[in-house]
C-alpha cells in the first residue's frame, strides 16, 4: 500500500498579503489569455488579505476563487447573466462566509455559465486555450489549473464540478447533497444543486470540506480499499481515452493493494441518468420563473428552450422520476455492499475543441441525481495531450473516505500547473 500520512494535509505559513500579491501577479499575466474572472478588484483583494492576516484560521494564507453564482456582499454577483449586471447582494453566501471565517481570502468572482447552465462564458482551458474548460464552473476550474488560486468553489447540478475538473486536469469534489449549505447561491434545481470545489491536491479538498461542513478530517487508510469498477450502460459512449484512463486506474489500484471487483448496474439505476435533465428542467423552470416571464429576451436561446421544456413537463413524469430515484438509492446498497468506492468514467474524453460549448455531463448525471459524493481525480493524458480524469463515487455521507481513497490512489501528488503559456519569469 502506498504510504500516505493524512497529517501531511496541506498547510501554509504564507501571509495572506503575500499570497494575494503573488496571485494577483500571476492573474495579471494570465487573465488576458484564460479569461477566468468575472470580477476582480486588486485593491479590495489586498484589503481582504490584510484583514485575514490578522485573524488566522485553518485556511489562513490560502487564496480562493468564488464562482459568480454565489452572493458576495463586497463584490457584484451577476450569475453569468446580463439580467443581473452590477447586482450587489447584502450578504455573503453561506459557503463564502465560512471560507472567510476559516481565513481564506476570496480574491474574486470566477466566470460561470449563465445561471450555471449551459451557455458558455469566455474562459479558455489553460492546457490548450482553443478548447473548452468545461462548465458551468469553468472559471473556478481554470483558475485552479493555472495556479491563479489555491482552490475555488463552484456548484454541480449535472456535471459542473466533475467535468471541468477532468477537462482542466485538477481534483474536483462534489460532496454529498445537502452536506454544504447552498444558502446564498442562485438556485437552479433545488433537489440537485450542490456546492463543490477544486484544488490541485486531494488534501486541500479535505481541508475545505472540513471548513464547510464542520466534519473531522479524513482518516488514513489502514488497508487497501475495495474498489468497484462500474462501467455503466454508457460505457460504449466513452472515447478510448476515457476507457483507458478508467481501466488504468483500476490496474493501479490493484497493484497498490486494493481489491478490484467488477460491478453490474442494478436494474433501478439503468437509464436513470437520462432522467436527470428532465427533473433539472422542471425545477429550473420554477426557480427561474421571474427571469423566464419578465426577462425572457435577455436569456440565451439554450436556457429559454430548457425552461420552456420544463414548464411543459407533466408533473406525473416528475413524480415517476422521484420514485425511481428513491428505488435507485435503495439499490445502491447492493453496490456498496461489495465495495467502498465505485470507479467509473468522469467524462467522454478530452475537452472538446472550441469554446462555444461547455462539454457533455452524461457520466456525472446519475450521481448528481442520487446526491452521492463524487470526486474527479486527474488520471491520464489523452491521445492529443489533454487531461482526462476518472470519477470515484461513495455512499451517502462517506465523503471523508472518498477523499482518503483519492489520496491513497494518487499518492496525494499535486498536479502540475497548466503553465506552458505563462510568460517567462512569472512562476520563478
Average pLDDT, the chain: 94
Catalytic residue among 77, 81, 94, 136: 136
Is 359 among the domain residues?
Answer: yes
What is the pLDDT at residue 428?
27
Is 277 among the domain residues?
Answer: no
Question: What domain count does the chain have?
Answer: 1
What is the pLDDT at residue 419?
65
160 is a catalytic site residue = yes
Q: Would you say residue 138 has pLDDT above 60?
A: yes
Is 116 among the domain residues?
Answer: yes
The CATH number that applies at residue 45 is 3.90.1300.10
Is 298 among the domain residues?
Answer: no
Q: How confident is the model at residue 161 (pLDDT cuts 50, 70, 90)?
A: very high
Place of cell 451517502: 396
Catalytic residue among 67, 163, 186, 325: 67
What does the pLDDT look like over 207-219, one tens digit per residue? 999 999 999 999 9
Q: Which three cell numbers stand for residue 79?
A: 450569475
CA distances from 290 to 51, 83, 93, 187, 312 (A): 38, 11, 21, 12, 16
Strand order in the sheet with 387-393: 37-39, 105-110, 63-67, 151-156, 194-199, 171-174, 374-381, 387-393, 341-345, 226-230, 259-263
Q: Would you say residue 296 has pLDDT above 90?
A: yes
What is the pLDDT at residue 183?
98
What is the pLDDT at residue 215?
97
What is the pLDDT at residue 3?
40
163 is a catalytic site residue = no
Is 120 among the domain residues?
Answer: yes
Is 85 among the domain residues?
Answer: yes
Range of the domain at 240: 6-268+322-410
What is the pLDDT averaged over residues 202-230?
A: 96
Q: Would you say residue 4 has pLDDT above 70?
A: no
Cis peptide before 136 (omega within 30 of 0): yes
What is the pLDDT averaged over residues 26-38?
A: 98
3-state secondary structure 54-111: HHCCCCCCCEEEEECCECCCCCCCCCCCHHHCCCCCCCCCHHHHHHHHCCCEEEEEEC
What does the pLDDT look like over 320-363, one tens digit per residue? 999 999 999 999 999 999 999 999 999 999 999 999 889 999 99
Is 199 among the domain residues?
Answer: yes
Q: How confident is the model at residue 11 (pLDDT cuts 50, 70, 90)?
A: low
Answer yes or no: are the C-beta atoms of 351 and 131 closer than 8 Å: yes
413 is a catalytic site residue = no
Is 108 among the domain residues?
Answer: yes
Catalytic residue among 160, 179, 358, 361: 160
Phi, psi (rounded to 5 degrees) for 125: -75, 125
Amino acid at each position: 500500500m502506498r504510504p500516505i500520512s493524512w497529517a501531511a494535509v496541506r498547510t501554509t505559513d504564507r501571509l495572506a498579503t503575500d499570497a494575494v500579491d503573488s496571485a494577483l501577479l500571476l492573474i495579471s499575466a494570465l487573465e488576458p489569455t484564460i479569461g477566468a474572472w468575472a470580477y476582480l478588484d486588486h485593491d479590495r483583494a489586498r484589503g481582504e488579505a490584510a484583514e485575514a492576516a490578522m485573524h488566522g484560521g485553518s485556511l489562513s494564507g490560502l487564496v480562493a476563487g468564488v464562482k459568480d453564482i454565489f452572493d458576495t456582499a463586497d463584490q457584484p454577483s451577476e450569475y453569468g447573466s446580463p439580467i443581473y449586471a452590477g447586482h450587489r447582494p447584502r450578504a455573503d453566501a453561506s459557503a463564502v462566509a465560512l471560507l472567510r471565517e476559516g481565513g481564506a481570502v476570496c480574491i474574486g468572482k470566477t466566470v460561470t455559465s449563465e445561471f450555471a447552465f449551459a451557455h458558455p462564458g469566455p474562459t479558455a482551458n489553460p492546457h490548450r486555450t482553443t478548447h473548452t474548460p468545461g462548465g458551468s464552473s469553468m472559471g473556478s476550474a481554470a483558475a485552479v489549473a493555472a495556479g491563479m488560486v489555491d482552490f475555488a468553489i463552484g456548484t454541480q447540478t449535472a456535471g459542473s464540478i466533475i467535468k471541468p475538473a477532468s477537462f482542466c486536469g485538477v481534483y474536483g469534489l462534489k460532496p454529498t447533497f445537502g452536506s454544504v449549505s447552498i444558502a446564498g447561491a442562485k438556485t437552479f434545481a433545488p433537489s440537485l444543486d450542490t456546492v463543490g470545489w477544486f484544488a490541485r491536491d486531494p488534501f486541500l479538498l479535505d481541508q475545505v470540506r472540513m471548513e464547510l461542513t464542520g466534519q473531522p478530517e479524513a482518516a488514513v487508510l489502514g488497508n487497501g480499499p475495495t474498489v468497484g469498477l462500474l462501467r455503466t450502460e454508457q460505457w460504449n459512449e466513452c472515447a478510448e481515452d476515457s476507457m483507458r484512463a478508467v481501466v488504468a486506474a483500476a490496474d493501479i489500484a490493484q497493484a497498490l493493494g486494493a481489491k478490484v471487483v467488477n460491478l453490474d448496474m442494478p436494474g433501478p439505476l439503468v437509464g436513470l441518468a437520462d432522467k436527470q435533465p428532465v427533473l433539472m428542467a422542471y425545477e429550473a423552470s420554477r426557480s427561474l420563473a421571474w427571469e423566464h416571464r419578465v426577462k425572457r429576451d435577455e436569456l440565451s436561446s439554450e436556457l429559454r428552450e430548457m425552461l420552456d421544456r420544463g414548464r411543459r413537463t407533466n408533473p406525473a413524469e416528475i413524480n415517476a422520476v422521484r420514485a425511481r430515484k428513491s428505488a435507485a438509492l435503495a439499490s445502491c446498497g447492493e453496490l456498496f455492499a461489495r465495495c467502498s468506492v465505485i470507479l467509473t468514467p468522469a467524462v467522454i474524453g478530452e475537452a472538446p475543441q472550441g469554446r462555444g460549448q461547455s462539454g457533455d455531463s452524461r457520466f456525472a448525471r446519475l450521481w448528481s441525481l442520487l446526491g452521492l459524493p463524487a470526486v474527479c481525480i486527474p488520471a491520464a493524458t489523452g491521445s492529443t495531450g489533454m487531461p482526462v480524469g476518472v470519477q470515484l463515487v461513495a455512499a451517502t455521507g462517506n465523503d471523508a473516505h472518498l477523499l482518503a481513497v483519492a489520496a491513497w490512489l494518487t499518492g496525494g501528488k499535486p498536479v502540475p500547473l497548466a503553465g506552458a503559456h505563462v510568460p517567462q519569469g512569472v512562476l520563478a
